[in-house]
Amino acid sequence: MGIQGMELFAIAVVIILFMAVLKQFGIFEPMSSFEDESSDSDLELSTVRHQPEGLDQLQLQTKFTRKELQSLYRGFKNECPSGMVDEETFKTIYSQFFPQGDATTYAHFLFNAFDMDRNGSIRFEDFVIGLSVLLRGSVTEKLNWAFNLYDINKDGYVTKEEMLAIMTSIYDMMGRYTYPCVRDEAPSEHVDKFFQKMDKNRDGVVTIEEFIETCQKDENIMNSMQLFENVI
Amino acid sequence: MAAGVAAWLPFARAAAIGWMPVANLPMPVAPAGKNKRQDEMIILNVSGRRFETWRNTLDRYPDTLLGSSEKEFFYNEETKEYFFDRDPDVFRSVLNFYRTGKLHYPRYECISSYDEELAFFGIISEIIGDCCYEEYKDRKRENAERLMDDQEDNKDAKPPNMTCRETMWRAFENPHTSTMALVFYYVTGFFIAVSVITNVVETVPCGTSPNQKEVPCGERYTVAFFCMDTACVMIFTVEYLMRLFAAPSRYRFMRSVMSIIDVVAILPYYIGLVMTDNEDVSGAFVTLRVFRVFRIFKFSRHSQGLRILGYTLKSCASELGFLLFSLTMAIIIFATVMFYAEKGSSSSKFTSIPASFWYTIVTMTTLGYGDMVPKTIAGKIFGSICSLSGVLVIALPVPVIVSNFSRIYHQNQRADKRRAQKMQKARLARIRISKQGTSNAFLHSKRNGLFSEAPEFTQLPYKMNLSEQSSTEEDQRLNKSTSLLESQHHHLLHCLEKTTNHEFVDQQYYQQSYLEAGLQNYPSRSPSLSSRDGVSGTCCTRRSKKQHAPLQNASGPAHMQPLTQVHAHPRGLQELSTIHIQPLSTSRSSLNMRVDEPASLNCQSSQITTAIISIPTPPVTTSDGDAHLRAGPAHQNVVKVSAL
């Protein structure tokens, strides 16, 4: 009787095991040449480091003093040793200030407002230039910055949808446990109020001129713009 | 708030400018920065080794020695540095904690010296980072055990006035306490041995009577064995009853393993007494006799090693389970394969797959009885693979079990593991509390912020007390306790509240007030802020029901808004729920009063309740948030309504 059925199978199993053992010992390497090239490409530089521009250049670009820039950089570098903040890290950092709510959406908008060259990470220059506008800029510059924040697609117009997204993200930061309870219509009501105030020609969008003009007439807003002068 | 992101707080505050155009309410005043010494370097001289760091690095943790003003005690005027006469090596870890926010435990350091340094610098050990925490806890546990062993030698001094019951229990648990206990210990041990030997010898064939086959001794000397058995069982029963009597918690004792073993050991005898010569149940009775062998487990009270073995097996349950599971899988696979491989051969013993299980088990455990052997080539090949893999599968979990046993045996860990569980829970609880502390800190300071921004209300005739007395010294104490960093963070959260016109409350209050929301009737919203007459009537009727006036909104839903009340009076919440709101009183805003001062509230409040309500710029429906004083005098649209 010849080899048949289970015996064939048994012999096949034995051969496979044998091959596996040989491969383990490195004696037998089938098709290894094809695999070598692909494995090297997985090796990548995992750390990207970024060095900021010199202190003097930054002094020219911003309105901070040398000492302030030094202190800002030290804090920045402490948190982000690689010199750049990516969006996830940024969201984590910003969320720590608002433990009760969910700050990630607003952090996303904020990130886009700071990341001026839209490369997905904030370098120290972006950080410090943004801060310079916010803390040492004129009221018009600050208002410009705020408008830029609201204008999500940076087309120069703030539509109701964009404003609603921003408003919802601000309300999200409040979290669940608030008094009174945040109703679902609260953001859109707030947006309606905002548009009532800002949109002078009732065309459904707010332009930068309407925005600046309305804000300059509103005392509250003017006062509060000065609020954070002494942050640094 | 993690101190590591303290550097980003200025950024977060600056970014708050983005909320300003959207907000409808005026923003609160920013906390004044103290004199800007932020970039100052300070020198810490620890036993001669100088460490230098920025001042605001240390300020990140204001409740430690270095972060608070306590370090001024160590300031040396001549050398302009802070001198600490402590170990510089451990100080490295301490200072790194300030720098990086993570506390590490160096392995070469002695645990007690490290603990002392932490205690000196005011750092709690629970915040040791996860990377070092296991090591730290292990060392601490070993240290505690060592201390305990030393202490146990001193524990033999018997405390006086122990009741008879307690003495007995102590004697049972620890035979070395008195001679009586020792005697008892040996006697029971002896009888356990006698009982076990009796059971064994009972079955030995005992000489032959002529023309009869061999009978076991048990049937030959029935009476003798019966007497022996009775004596043993009597002793065991007495012992069990005595233990039951002495046990501090009888219920728990009855549920313990040892007592179950005791019961199982003596029960067959009694059952045997009850069921006498009934033929049908004698078969079951014979089975019951098997349980007599459980008496041997009673030895585990006498042997520490046995107890540890049992404990090891219990603690290695997962490894044993893995062993069993993998063995079962392998058995099924190989049995199937062997069955089909041997199907062809004639007179094969492998009649079915379950029949092949026996072969597989015998082969995998390398027993090899030889009662079933494969005859075909395929069968032999698979059989050899089976035995090789059996060795591997069994060899894998065994070292784990062995090492477990040796570890437990050496450390004698049973009670400590239970204690370690509690510590772990306590640690997690503490970390959770400190994380909640951020949001709670804000709510706490909101409540206290009432005082710092509303000086004119100290003139009110009744005292507005929330949790502390409102006196100026208290104000300063409160202000000092929050660092600049915290106050800036709170200011930021405050701005957010103003932007959205909602307030942060804590979870408790939220659940309470919105659970009861359904129970209360909402009177209609009245947006007007005028003071109303007729409050005195309702006021006093309200007083007669409850003892404090709720803080109400002008136009909000008419249940309470006592953010402040929540924290001060946990029991006040109960009262909240049953306050019925009179329709007339919705427009009143009155300040909280202490629950324990009903007398002064009586009808003074009806005349004197003063309301500060801020009208936001679009005076429509958004005045929900703000009957608080925080919208204080600095803002223009504050309306002081003095009620009738």
pLDDT band at A80 (very low <50, low <70, confident <90, very high): confident
Domain count, chain B: 3
Residue B614 confidence (pLDDT)? 35
Same domain, B182 and B256: yes
A196: Cα separation from own chain's centroid? 31
Q: What is the pTM of this model?
A: 0.47
Residue B212 confidence (pLDDT)? 65
Asked if A170 has any chain B CB less than 8 Å from its own CB, the reply is yes
Same domain, B205 and B317: no
Structure tokens at B71: 């370090």
In chain A, residues 212-231 whose CB comes closer than 8 Å to chain B: 215, 220-221, 223-225, 227-228, 230-231
Please state whether B184 falls in left (phi above 0), alpha (psi between -120 and 50) or beta. alpha
Which among A170, A174, A231 has the least Cβ separation from residue B13?
A231
Structure tokens at B395: 């060899």
Q: Which residues of A touch B484 (CB under 8 A)?
A: none
* Short-list B490, B426, B420, B422, CA closest to B452: B490
Residue A47 confidence (pLDDT)? 58
Torsions phi, psi for A158 (to 5 deg): -105, 110
Q: Which residues of B touch A98 (CB under 8 A)?
A: 493, 496
* Short-list B615, B633, B327, CA closest to B452: B633
Residue B603 confidence (pLDDT)? 40
Could you give the dihedral angle defined by the CA atoms of residues B583, B587, B588 and B591, in that order, rounded to the nearest 10 degrees? 120
Same domain, B255 and B175: yes
pLDDT band at A21 (very low <50, low <70, confident <90, very high): confident
Question: At a CB cut-off of 8 Å and minimum separation 6, what does B102 contact?
Answer: B96, B129, B131
| CB–CB contact B13 A181 (8 Å) | no
A29-38, A214-223, B337-346, B503-512: least confident range? A29-38
Residue B514 confidence (pLDDT)? 67
pLDDT band at A224 (very low <50, low <70, confident <90, very high): confident
| CB–CB contact B4 A78 (8 Å) | yes
Question: At a CB cut-off of 8 Å and minimum separation 6, what does B553 contact?
Answer: B561, B586, B589, B623, B624, B627
| CB–CB contact B27 A223 (8 Å) | yes
Beta-carbon pairs below 8 A across chains A and B: 178
Q: Do the domain assignments include residue B574?
A: no
Structure tokens at A45: 């530089």
Last residue of a domain, one of B156, B188, B223: B156
| CB–CB contact A193 B12 (8 Å) | no
**Planar angle of CA A34, A40, A41, nearest 5 degrees:** 100
Same domain, B275 and B334: no
| CB–CB contact B500 A98 (8 Å) | no
Quick one: how many helices (H) and strands (E) in chain A?
Answer: 12, 5
Same domain, B281 and B363: no
The three-class DSSP label of residue A158 is strand
Q: Do the domain assignments include residue B66?
A: yes
| B120/B118 Cα distance (integer angstroms) | 5
Q: Do the domain assignments include residue B587?
A: no
Mean of the pLDDT values across residues A107-128? 86
Query: Residue B533: which H helix or E strand, with range?
Result: none
* Short-list B606, B564, B563, B612, CA closest to B585: B606
| CB–CB contact A174 B438 (8 Å) | no
Residue B115 confidence (pLDDT)? 92
Range of the domain at B293: 165-302
For residue A33, pLDDT beyond 80: no
Same domain, B101 and B208: no
Residue B359 confidence (pLDDT)? 94
Query: Residue B553: which H helix or E strand, with range?
Result: none
Distance from CA of B22 to the nearest CA of A (A): 7
Q: Do the domain assignments include residue B119?
A: yes
A100-104, A118-122, B311-315, B414-418: least confident range? B414-418
pLDDT digits (tens, 9 = 90+) for A46-62: 556 777 778 888 888 88
pLDDT digits (tens, 9 = 90+) for B324-339: 888 899 899 999 999 9
* Short-list B509, B503, B491, B530, CA closest to B615: B530
Distance from CA of A33 to the nearest CA of B (A): 32
| CB–CB contact A98 B493 (8 Å) | yes
Structure tokens at B511: 């659940």
Same domain, B200 and B283: yes
Complex ipTM > 0.85: no
The letter for the amino acid at B447 is: R
pLDDT band at A30 (very low <50, low <70, confident <90, very high): low
Spell out, as residue ranges, where chain B has pLDDT lower than 70. Answer: 1-6, 32-39, 148-161, 207-212, 276-285, 411-424, 435, 438-439, 441-442, 444-483, 514, 516-644
Q: Do the domain assignments include residue B402?
A: yes
Same domain, B204 and B103: no
Torsions phi, psi for B473 (to 5 deg): -65, -40
Same domain, B125 and B183: no
Residue B360 confidence (pLDDT)? 94
Same domain, B95 and B208: no
Distance from CA of B218 to the nearest CA of A (A): 55
| A102/B50 Cα distance (integer angstroms) | 43
Same domain, B56 and B99: yes
Residue B356 confidence (pLDDT)? 93
Which among A70, A131, A174 has the least Cβ separation from residue B504?
A174
Q: Do the domain assignments include residue B564?
A: no
Asked if A165 has any chain B CB less than 8 Å from its own CB, the reply is no
Residue A87 confidence (pLDDT)? 87
For residue A73, pLDDT beyond 70: yes
Q: Do the domain assignments include residue B627?
A: no
Q: Do the domain assignments include residue B188?
A: yes
Same domain, B313 and B298: no
